[in-house]
Structure 1
Amino acid sequence: MTYTVGSLVKARGREWVVLPDSTDDLLVLRPLGGSDDEIAGIYIPLEPVTPATFDLPDPSQVGDYRSARLLRDAVRLGFRSSAGPFRSFARVGFEPRPYQLVPLLMALKLDPIRLLVADDVGIGKTIEAGLIARELLDRGEIERLAVLCPPPLAEQWQSELRDKFHIEAELVLPSTAARLERNLSLGESLFERHPFVIVSMDYIKSDRRREEFKRACPEFVIVDEAHTCAYGAERGGHHQRFEMVRGLAQNPNRHIVLVTATPHSGKEEA
């Protein structure tokens, strides 16, 4: 019998998911709800493998609230390390629309991630960028995150990250920077102390703050309203926002996602 990728089988007294490297005789399997460390190969001519079956729910065994909640929590935790394609889905507070997964799929094919998300207004660019960040965090590929945005959008980003992605980010604004720096150790940057930050582009673009941010910048950066950082002749070209983003991009290992609804101004020099 041939088992397709993603099908469920039973062997060695437990259920498994068939992985892509399987052949007709050799199945590469991951335990259902297990981790990559438990992946095993089973040679079908030597070991019995059967399709996995599960009993239908029994209406006479209703259970109780605690049991249902325990099952729900187990399923959510299992999603994070199971054979599903996205580990972040157990940590987001909404159901993404199918088109919002496209930037995530594209990002996971890049190393480092250098991506421009230029959907129209109202499509959900914040969600698309946040999904990439949440997925990398849950995969353990990044530990810190910075969002660079215009000051009026900072609180909106903070609430979106908190409510939709369970990421508690600090606001780095002229009104909050002094408080955040108050308890820092000698030589420590607030960007090293706080793993998740939302930074006002106008605050951080000055030469002194820009150099500090470049030194302690997280490994994943989202730049909102990225068109305001474009190279433009009307400002003499090398304006501060452009220099900021260009400096961050010089690190070959840093992931950068640019977000804008205006990917091009129509000017050839931009």
Structure 2
Amino acid sequence: MSDYITRFAPSPTGRLHLGHAVSAFNVWAAAAEAGGKVYLRIEDIDQTRCKIEFEAGILEDLAWMGLSWDGPVRRQSEHFSEYSAVLDTLRARGLIYRCFRTRREIASSLPAGADPDETGFVSRPLSPTEEAARLAHNAAFAWRLSLAAARAALGDAWRALHYTEETPIGLRRVPADPSRFGDVVLARKDTPASYHLACCHDDALQGITHVVRGEDLRAVTAIHALLQTLMGWPQPVYRFHPLLLGPDGKKLSKRNADKSLAAWRAEGMTPEDIRAMTAPA
């Protein structure tokens, strides 16, 4: 057994579909090639959308596809205090601030169709008096990572931000610039951690050495490189796999009601059929 450790980390907000199968097959194939391990992580931070029945469905689908994992399942909802501790550290260092502008308010100030999460949005911390007044009225807020404060804290290391990508011809160093995302949300008043914070924390805690993810997550890897550098967390090697696209050219997703693996199974499809359907063209 090598020191190669990767993970499969679905969110239980619905049943797995063919896009998940593509990711799972890539994760397990990479681990098998390296003689390594695969951990299963359930990313159930969103307690409104995540359901225990969907988690049960994930386990059922993976078992049906013949994919087993190493060690116990890690459920992020069982570790909220750990993420809060990270926020406390960042707050003590002056790297995060409360932002009271809603996503809708931000979107309304942007050109039509612009994504509030990819327009470099930055705000400013309110004065202690203004912030106290908002909190006294139970206003909603998000904890945002200040790019300006992060840049100042890192100094010359900011220009050296990067991640390492595993390619068919070897490893390459990729410059990481999180500026396009602005002051990213790391938590909200009623949500103890964002995907970015929980993902990076758990990768470090679990000793993940390699992350196998879809091309749609390539850009946000710059955010993860920044968090890892700020927190002194080890950085995994990243491998990106192509996405499975639908007839409309868009990636498959639960949000778009793409056909679930359970539905394919009910129609008599086998795991071998699913592998064939998700194999690269």
TM-score (norm 1): 0.29
Greater RCO structure (CA 8 Å; 6+ sep): 2
Q: Which has the larger radius of gyration?
A: 1
